[in-house]
Amino acid sequence: MIIIGLGNPGAEYEGTRHNAGREAVMKFAKKAGFDGFEFDKKAQALVSVGKVGKTKATLVLPETFMNKSGASAGKFAKGAKKIKDPSTGKSIKAFPEVIVVHDDLDIPLGKAKMSWNKSAGGHKGVQSVLKALGTEAVFRIRIGITPAKASGELKKPDHDTITENFIVAGFKEKEAQELSKVTKKVVDCLEMAISDSPERAMSEYNAVFSNL
C-alpha cells in the first residue's frame, strides 16, 4: 500500500490549510509506530516504511511544492492494474493500492470524504499526481478546509484570496480543533484501509466523516 500525503515542504507551511493531508499522514505514521521519515533524493520525498498488521505500507511526503507532487508519486506507484470499472463495466488502468490524502476546498472544515476514481476538482497537487500515474483510478481521502455557515453554505473566498491568503494560511484556534478531530478519524481510516482494505475503509468511514 502506498499512502501519499500532499502539502508544501518547509517550516513556514506547517499548520496551513494546504498541508492538512501531509500532516494527517505524519500523524498516522506516529500512531502506527512507523520509523521516522527519511529523505529519498531520487524521489524528492520524505519516505517511511512500516506495517499495519501484516500489510506493508510506504508513506510518501513529496518535498516538491504542491503542484509538482506527481514527480514523487510516480517513483513509487508503478505496475498499474487493469480492472473493471463498476460504473461502466469497462476495463480501466488503476492503482487500487494507492491512497492520496489531501486538503479539499469543497468539503466543510471538520468533515472528510474518501473517494475512488474521481477527477482532481481543480486541486493542483492532485492533478499532478493523477497525471503522473496516468489515471484517476486511485483512492483519495479529502480533508475539508473551508469554514461553513450555519446553513451549511461554504464560506469559500474568491480565487485570488484562495491562492494568496487562504490555502497557505494557518487555522484559527477553533478551526484547528475541528481539524484535529477529523484528522484523528482520517488516521483511523488509513489504519483500516491498510490492515483490511480501502473499500471497507471507504464504506465505513464516509459515514463517520459525514456525522462529525
Q: What is the mean pLDDT of residues 67-83?
A: 91
Distance CA 95, CA 70 (A): 14
Q: What is the mean pLDDT of residues 53-57?
A: 95
pLDDT digits (tens, 9 = 90+) for 136-191: 999 999 999 999 988 888 988 776 667 667 888 899 999 999 999 999 999 999 99
**CATH no. for residue 179?**
3.40.50.1470
The residues that bridge with 57 in the sheet, in sequence order, are: 50
Average pLDDT, the chain: 93
Q: Three cell numbers at 42? A: 531520487
Share of the chain above pLDDT 90, in %: 82
Q: Which has the higher per-residue pLDDT, 11 or 165?
A: 11
Distance CA 179, CA 144 (A): 8
102 is catalytic: no
Q: Which has the higher per-residue pLDDT, 126 or 159?
A: 126
Q: What is the mean pLDDT of residues 43-48?
A: 97
Question: Does residue 195 register a pLDDT over 90?
Answer: yes
Output the pLDDT for position 103. 97
Q: Three cell numbers at 71? A: 514527480
Output the pLDDT for position 150. 84
Question: For the chain, how many structural domains are there in total?
Answer: 1
Distance CA 112, CA 134 (A): 25
Question: By residue range, what is the domain housing residue 157?
Answer: 2-210
What pTM did the predictor assign?
0.95
Question: Does residue 26 register a pLDDT over 90?
Answer: yes
Output the pLDDT for position 173. 94
Of the listed ranges 48-52, 88-92, 108-112, 194-198, the least confidently predicted one is 88-92
Share of the chain above pLDDT 70, in %: 97
- Scan for cell 483519495, then name that residue: 140
Q: Is 74 in contact with 133 (CB distance < 8 Å)?
A: yes
What is the DSSP annotation of the chain? -EEEE----SGGGTTBGGGHHHHHHHHHHHHHTPPPPEEETTTTEEEEEEEETTEEEEEEEE-S-GGGTHHHHHHH--S-EEEE-TTT--EEEE-TTEEEEEEEEEEETT-EEEEES---TT-HHHHHHHHHHT-S-SEEEEEEEE-B-TTS-B-PPPHHHIIIIITTSBPPHHHHHHHHHHHHHHHHHHHHHHHT-HHHHHHHHHHHHHT-
Residue 105: name the closest of 156, 164, 161 by CA.
156
What is the DSSP annotation of 8-26? --SGGGTTBGGGHHHHHHH
Output the pLDDT for position 87. 72
Output the pLDDT for position 152. 84
